[in-house]
Amino acid sequence: MSGAANQSTPGFVPPPAGEFLGHPKALWNLFGSEFWERFMYYGMRAMLAVHVAAAFFAHLGAGADAEASKTYGGYTAMVYMTGILGGYVADRILGYQRSIMLGGALMAAGCFLLMSPSLPMFLLGLATIVVGNGLFKPNISTMVGKLYAPGDARRDSGFTIFYMGINAGALVAPIVCATWIGATYGYRWGFLAAGVGMVFGLVVFQILKDWLGHVGAKPEGKEGYGPIVQVLVGAAVLVVPVYFLLSQSDVLGGLLIAMMLGLVAYFIYSGIASGSREQLHRYIAMLILFAANILFWALFEQAGSSLNFLARDFVQMPTIAGHAVHFTIFQSVNPVFIILLAPLFATLWVKLDKADWNPSIPRKFAYGLAGAALGFYVLVFAIQNFVDAGGKISWIWLALTYLIHTMGELCLSPIGLAMVTKLALPKETGLAMGGWFLSIAMANFVAGRIAAIAAGGGSGHEAAGSLAAYADVFGQMFWLGIAIALAYFLFAPLINKLMHGVK
């Protein structure tokens, strides 16, 4: 669908003219900006759990990994939890473009604070990144949806391309920040590299801002520096409770549950207040798919915690020129598979749609859940049958797990981002995208608890006991994931009815 065709769609104003590879030029600005933001996030995430365990909890001995997993889970939960506030700020106060610039600046500052050897200052850095991410992450995703008219068949493909930008950054970041700089000079310098990457992202966004035109511009009546100062003060205030919650895991869990219940209540109320039975049903369908999203990411987000610890202690790494590859290299395996497979999946959905065989959104979610579950069965199988004399499994099994997880991710995550922009009312798209990331926040909190159980199951790093604990936890995750995937597959027709034609 061309820009001219989009112009005729009621209520939709396309971005400035100009396309590249069949998509609006603005998509490639957002692609580049997201590349560097994800470079920052995945670069620091690759080192976070292992650094926290070694630098701040080493005195706990065998409990260091479990405690670091809780900190990791709390941080990654709040990174996504603040997205719902960021969506509101962008919708009503700053606009998307200014929210992205302010959020990115806060995240860069937070990364620089992570260089501190002091735990309080380190936690302040994490809290600053959390608040900044809330302003950045949901809003750049929402802007992708605003580039396409309702019903534009390119939307899913556009989100998949954008997803490749995410994963290109995620591919490069662990190699540069953790495997090279962190492993060679110390993790604190890896955090510095991550922060510099975020600064590059802001430069890209600003240089190519004209490509966006009106998309994400300031809300009417909110021009000038006043709204920026208000939000900046609010962000500084918000850093305080975030800092507190990083060390109060139980309180954070209760808050996440309360926010999820509030989210459900709000969208049910909004659907009723809209006066449209169809819109109410669409919001119910969106919330049902949010629940699937929570389970998927609770399984998938073991990558930075329990799977990272597993790679460190119990995976026989490959050697290059006689030297074993650093275990953090596995943090780049998933994005490698994403970059290789995303174009195939993007093409596949278009061809299946033309043949009228394209799976529905709920069915794609079911396939995603099944992929996350099956990936863990691979590790269970390897631990039960292929542990070598040194108490380790081959790196090939972990790579296979990441491959299966990636295929599941491509069935769910980019489809879910597009789904939110289709089901939500235009005036609530930012808030709905924040809700999507809130569901990921809940998932990350659960993932941290799961990782703490898996990492703390052994006595020290004694191979048999610890590997048995990993196999037990991963086996339970497999059965839970398969059961829920089957439920979503079977009930997909009912969820489709609630979506009223949205595909």
Longest Cα–Cα distance of the chain, Å, equals 69
At 377, which CATH number?
1.20.1250.20
Share of residues in the chain with pLDDT > 90 (%): 46
Q: How confident is the model over 236-247, as pLDDT tens digits?
A: 999 999 999 988
Determine the length of the chain: 503
Please state, in angstroms and rounded to a whole number, the distance separating the CA atoms of residues 64 and 27.
43
Compute how many other C-beta atoms are within 10 angstroms of the C-beta atom of residue 43. Answer: 32
Give residue 1's pLDDT: 36
Residue 324 included in any domain: yes
Residue 10 included in any domain: no
- Binning pLDDT at 50, 70 and 90, where does residue 134 land? confident
Residue 443 included in any domain: yes
Residue 457 included in any domain: yes
Residue 12 included in any domain: no
The more confident residue out of 14 and 240 is: 240
Q: How confident is the model over 272-324, as pLDDT tens digits?
A: 999 999 999 999 999 999 999 999 999 998 887 889 889 988 999 988 877 78
Q: How confident is the model over 195-207, as pLDDT tens digits?
A: 999 999 999 888 8
The more confident residue out of 306 and 495 is: 495
- As beta bridge partners, residue 315 has 393
Return the structure tokens found at 431: 């808030």
- Binning pLDDT at 50, 70 and 90, where does residue 69 land? confident
Residue 8 included in any domain: no
**Which amino acid is residue 194, in one-letter code?**
A
What pTM was estimated for this model as a whole?
0.80
The more confident residue out of 336 and 87 is: 336
399-422 in b/e burial notation, b at 16+ Cβ within 10 A?
A: bbbbbbbbbbbbbbbbbbbbbbbb
Asked whether the beta carbons of 162 and 34 are under 8 A apart, the reply is: yes
Residue 14 included in any domain: no
Please state, in angstroms and rounded to a whole number, the distance separating the CA atoms of residues 146 and 136.
16
Report the number of distinct structural domains present in the chain: 1
- The DSSP line for 74-93 is HHHHHHHHTHHHHHHHIIII
Please state, in angstroms and rounded to a whole number, the distance separating the CA atoms of residues 490 and 370.
13
Please state, in angstroms and rounded to a whole number, the distance separating the CA atoms of residues 177 and 189.
8
Give residue 428's pLDDT: 85
In the predicted structure, residue 415 carries a pLDDT above the cut 70:
yes
Q: How confident is the model over 316-365, as pLDDT tens digits?
A: 998 887 778 889 899 899 989 988 998 888 788 888 888 888 899 999 99
Asked whether the beta carbons of 159 and 414 are under 8 A apart, the reply is: yes
Compute the Cα dihedral for 317, 191, 110, 143 and give only its sign.
negative
The more confident residue out of 256 and 463 is: 256
> At residue 315, what are phi and psi to the nearest 5 degrees?
-120, 130
Nearest to 161 by CA among 22, 13, 38: 22
Domain membership of residue 387 as a residue range = 20-499
- Binning pLDDT at 50, 70 and 90, where does residue 9 land? low
Give residue 62's pLDDT: 65
Please state which of the ranges 31-35, 157-161, 175-179, 268-272 shows the lowest mean pLDDT: 157-161
The more confident residue out of 503 and 371 is: 371
Give residue 457's pLDDT: 47
In the predicted structure, residue 64 carries a pLDDT above the cut 70:
yes
Residue 232 included in any domain: yes
Q: What mean pLDDT comes out for the span 469-482?
A: 93
Please state, in angstroms and rounded to a whole number, the distance separating the CA atoms of residues 227 and 344.
43
Give residue 59's pLDDT: 80
Look over the chain and give the mean of its residue pLDDT values, rounded to a whole number: 87
Q: What mean pLDDT comes out for the span 170-195?
A: 93
Distance of CA 28 to the CA centre of its chain: 20
In the predicted structure, residue 4 carries a pLDDT above the cut 50:
no
- As beta bridge partners, residue 394 has 316
Q: What mean pLDDT comes out for the span 208-235?
A: 84
Share of residues in the chain with pLDDT > 70 (%): 95
3-state SS, residue 357: coil
